[in-house]
């Protein structure tokens, strides 16, 4: 294995090779820099997705002054910060992981699903806090990653995520300024089903949509809802044993549910996924995408829940929960924007009462 031509500064070649072998099996791109910020290594996922920074060049060529300062500050303080590359690519954001002698840039899918907007800074700050908390816990508790080879086992998922990113970037949403608008959940999923099928069917994946459309309108950003669903879709495909995912929504239950069958050992192998609150808790960096989805959901007064059916069916559910009981502070706003078919019928009778009386 080529360990690169860089200043090891006392690091044994065997240790460098061990670090590289660990990165080879990651399902997201990783590039490694020496202490002078020269790029010395790319893992398999980075090569597969053609991550722009080239081995042998300096990262300064690909970042602006603000991000260069962020990088230098992160290295000096050994902090986990989100770095933005100035490249023409769907993959531009990464997390700085500072080692004793080298620095690794981890390009998590979740970060690269985000679009550039005014709310990005606050979201990124919260993500940085989540990553820092996880890594502090990992250091004290000795948490280790699994032994599986995600890259080899999930090449199709990596490709699907690439299509999802391109789709998100190519969209020209009317509410890119993040102002919340009326969203017809049923109509939204009719469009979502059509948009997602073109990517997943090619790779042998299938989604079944069971949407009970009772004209359930909710005041949220459709851009946010789309991003949440892409994240949930990618996660579901990654862990679905049969490459099939069922999506259901009922306005009576107020739950949007992704359901799929996992392997027999899923519960034991992924205990870190079952936390009470994805906005504040994280047990494994592998579930960073769900943390991001939960943050976006919270901004729209929604909640993300992961539920496992332990009756022997090995079913996993990702639930996006619309509020039922809400605070007095937002109750008037919610009543204004939650429109049911019954309310529309009542309003229609009032509006057309005079016309009907004439006939």
Quick one: average pLDDT of 110-124? 75
Do 223 and 170 contact (CB within 8 A), yes or no?
no
Give residue 131's pLDDT.
80
Least confident of 8-12, 85-89, 181-185, 329-333: 329-333
Do 338 and 326 contact (CB within 8 A), yes or no?
no
Tokens found for residue 15: 């240790």
For the chain, the average pLDDT equals 80
Distance of CA 53 to the CA centre of its chain: 23
Distance CA 80, CA 23 (A): 18
pLDDT digits (tens, 9 = 90+) for 24-33: 988 889 999 9
pLDDT digits (tens, 9 = 90+) for 271-322: 778 777 767 666 666 778 888 888 889 888 899 988 888 777 889 999 999 9
Do 254 and 188 contact (CB within 8 A), yes or no?
no
Distance CA 308, CA 261 (A): 10
- Work out the pLDDT band at 329, boundaries 50, 70, 90: very low
Cβ-Cβ contacts under 8 Å for 43 (sequence gap 6 or more): 20, 23, 24, 26, 29, 30, 31, 151
Tell me the HSE value of 176 on the side-chain side, using a 13 A CA sphere: 11
Distance CA 10, CA 111 (A): 33
Give residue 283's pLDDT.
63
pLDDT higher for 115 or 206?
Answer: 206
Share of the chain above pLDDT 70, in %: 77
Give residue 208's pLDDT.
93
Give residue 147's pLDDT.
54
Give residue 333's pLDDT.
37
Give per-residue burial for 260-298: e unless 16+ CB within 10 Å, then b: bbbeeebbeebebbebeebeebbbbbbbbbbbbbbbbbe
Q: Are strands 244-250 and 206-212 parallel, antiparallel or unpaired?
A: parallel
Quick one: average pLDDT of 76-81? 90
- Work out the pLDDT band at 336, boundaries 50, 70, 90: very low
Question: Quick check: 327 pLDDT over 50?
Answer: no
Give residue 284's pLDDT.
67
Distance of CA 120 to the CA centre of its chain: 14
Distance CA 358, CA 352 (A): 10
Distance CA 270, CA 357 (A): 64
Quick one: average pLDDT of 212-232? 86
- Work out the pLDDT band at 177, boundaries 50, 70, 90: very low
Question: Quick check: 350 pLDDT over 70?
Answer: no
Do 33 and 39 contact (CB within 8 A), yes or no?
yes
Quick one: average pLDDT of 35-47? 93
Do 320 and 255 contact (CB within 8 A), yes or no?
yes
Tokens 């502090």 sit on residue: 136
Give residue 355's pLDDT.
55
Give residue 337's pLDDT.
43
Q: Are strands 39-42 and 244-250 parallel, antiparallel or unpaired?
A: unpaired
DSSP states of 206-220: EEEEEEE-S--EEEE
pLDDT digits (tens, 9 = 90+) for 240-264: 999 999 999 988 888 999 999 998 8
Distance CA 287, CA 131 (A): 10
Distance CA 89, CA 170 (A): 12
Question: Quick check: 14 pLDDT over 60?
Answer: yes
Tell me the torsion sign for CA atoms 77, 82, 84, 90. Answer: positive
**CA-closest candidate to residue 28, choices 292, 239, 288:** 288
- Work out the pLDDT band at 138, boundaries 50, 70, 90: low
Tokens found for residue 346: 């009542």
Question: Quick check: 205 pLDDT over 70?
Answer: yes
Distance CA 107, CA 45 (A): 10
């Amino acid at each position: 294995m080529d360990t690169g031509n860089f200043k090891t500064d006392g690091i044994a070649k065997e240790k460098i090779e061990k670090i590289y072998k660990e990165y080879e099996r990651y399902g997201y791109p990783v590039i490694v820099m020496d202490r002078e910020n020269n790029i010395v290594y790319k893992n398999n996922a980075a090569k597969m997705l053609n991550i722009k920074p080239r081995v042998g060049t300096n990262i300064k060529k690909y970042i602006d002054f603000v991000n260069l300062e962020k990088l230098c500050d992160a290295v000096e303080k050994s902090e986990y910060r989100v770095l933005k590359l100035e490249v023409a690519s769907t993959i531009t954001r990464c997390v700085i992981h500072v080692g004793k002698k080298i620095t690794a840039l981890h390009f998590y899918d979740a970060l690269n699903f985000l679009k550039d907007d005014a709310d990005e800074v606050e979201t990124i700050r919260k993500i940085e806090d989540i990553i820092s908390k996880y890594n502090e816990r990992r250091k004290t508790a000795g948490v280790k990653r699994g032994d599986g080879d995600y890259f080899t086992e999930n090449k199709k998922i990596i490709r699907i995520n690439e299509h999802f990113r391109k789709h998100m970037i190519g969209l020209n949403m009317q509410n890119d300024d993040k102002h919340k608008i009326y969203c017809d959940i049923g109509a939204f999923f009719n469009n979502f089903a059509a948009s997602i099928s073109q990517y997943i069917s090619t790779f042998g994946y299938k989604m079944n949509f069971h949407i009970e459309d009772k004209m359930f309108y909710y005041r949220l950003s459709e851009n946010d809802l789309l991003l949440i669903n892409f994240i949930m879709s990618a996660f579901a495909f990654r862990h679905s044993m049969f490459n099939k995912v069922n999506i259901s929504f009922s306005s009576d239950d107020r739950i949007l549910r992704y359901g799929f069958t996992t392997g027999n050992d899923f519960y034991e192998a992924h205990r870190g996924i079952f936390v009470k609150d994805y906005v504040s808790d994280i047990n494994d960096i592998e579930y960073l995408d769900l943390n991001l989805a939960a943050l976006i959901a919270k901004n729209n007064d929604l909640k993300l829940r992961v539920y496992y059916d332990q009756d022997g069916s090995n079913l996993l559910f990702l639930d996006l929960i619309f509020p039922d009981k809400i605070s007095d502070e937002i109750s008037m706003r919610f009543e204004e924007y939650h429109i049911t078919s019954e309310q529309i019928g009542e309003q229609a009778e009032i509006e057309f009462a005079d016309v009907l009386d004439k006939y």
